[in-house]
A and B are shown apart, each in its own frame.
Chain A
């Protein structure tokens, strides 16, 4: 079955540590996105990529980094510069700008130890 796979489901970060969240899709979608979800707030865009080897900052990119070396993969690194990383992270993909076909992964809950 086609879909988006995020791993791990739960992740704990120590002070000063970088952690990487995995996102893989087999939908052959060009565009991929990373969102952060906090209680009581709407989804906020961290980074997005519309084509391999290219990505753009979203509204809250500070303290995060991404890469898009393969069409299928869009990993997100939460760096030690992100002082408040505890949140639910959602990866999504779409065919170009066809947001009506936005598919989400099942999310990663990141917490700080």
Chain B
């Protein structure tokens, strides 16, 4: 079956760095996405990886290893507004998104 696994909840300190991991098993693979979702709001796109390696966008970076079925989202210089859920989603061979349950990130002052 298809599956996306990510931790349920993480806590970090303002100004620090946090890494949110995601492992995936999909039927075929056409890329991996990260979205940010504040409580009760719409998810917003953060990153898309289809090739191995690190993609950097400002304070946020995303890494992919296709051989390991593994990705992570790295958030630097954490701010209180980064408190949100982070959703990992894999795109299978039929171009359907398989979603993880999300990781709730709590930022403490």
Contacts and interface: CB of A to CB of B under 8 A. Distances in A.
Interface stretch (A61-69, A78-86, A96-104): A96-104
Contact of B101 (A41, A100, A109): A41
B95 A99 contact: yes
Interface stretch (B35-43, B65-73, B76-84): B35-43
B74 to A, nearest CB: 19
Given A40-B8, A42-B4, A99-B33, A104 B42 contact: yes
A106 B100 contact: no
B42 A90 contact: yes
Interface residues of B, number: 22
Contacts of B44: 104
A105 B97 contact: no
Given A40-B101, A43-B87, A102-B45, A109 B4 contact: no
Interface of B: 4, 8, 31, 33, 40-45, 48, 87, 89, 91, 95-102
Interface of A: 4, 40-45, 88, 90, 97, 99-107, 109
Given A99-B91, A99-B95, A42 B41 contact: no
A107 B42 contact: yes
A-B pairs, 9 with minimum CB distance: A42-B99, A104-B42, A43-B99, A100-B48, A97-B95, A106-B42, A42-B101, A104-B43, A42-B100
